[in-house]
Structure 1
Amino acid sequence: MNAIAKMISVIALGAVIVPCLLYFTGSISLDAVKAAALAGTIGWFMATPMWMSRDLPKDAAEVEI
């Protein structure tokens, strides 16, 4: 599961960066960049927490409230 989520994260990050570079070279329009960047951002924010989150230590018995 982690490997798939990491792969999706990298693809989504590429969907944000590559269109910006293509726009800089004049290959695609600004509307296409906006659409790709939006899709890449949404994909990145959905996939990255799946593999980047960490387990918290289970020491609740030692904590006094």
Structure 2
Amino acid sequence: MKNFAKMMSLITLCMIVVPCSLFFAGAIELPLVKSIALFGTIVWFIFTPIWMSRQLPVDAAEVEI
């Protein structure tokens, strides 16, 4: 599952960067860039925490503040 999440995270990151670069080069229009980048951002925020989350140390639950 983590490998799939990493792959999707990379793909959606490309969905954010590539359309912006194409717009800068004059290849596509702004409304299309906004749509693709918005979709890529939403999906990136869904998949990235799956593989970037970290495990807390064992004693973290036992510490009282």
Q: TM-score, normalised by structure 2?
A: 0.92
In the alignment, which residue of structure 2 is the partner of 1:32? 32
Q: CA RMSD in A?
A: 1.0
Identity %: 58
Which residue in 2 is equivalent to 1:21?
21
CA distance in 2, matches of 1:32, 1:24: 13
Task: Give the counterpart letter for 1:13 in structure 2.
Answer: L
* Structure 1 position 57, deviation (Å): 1.1
Unaligned runs of 5+ in 1: none
Shift of 1:64: 3.3
- Give structure 2 stretches of 5+ with no counterpart: none
Find runs of 4+ consecutive structure 1 residues off by over 6 angstroms.
Answer: none
Report the Cα distance in structure 1 between the residues aligned to 2:56 and 2:4, rounded to whole angstroms. Answer: 23
TM-score after normalising by structure 1 = 0.92
Q: Distance in 2 between matches of 1:15 and 1:29?
A: 15
Q: How many residues were matched structurally? A: 64
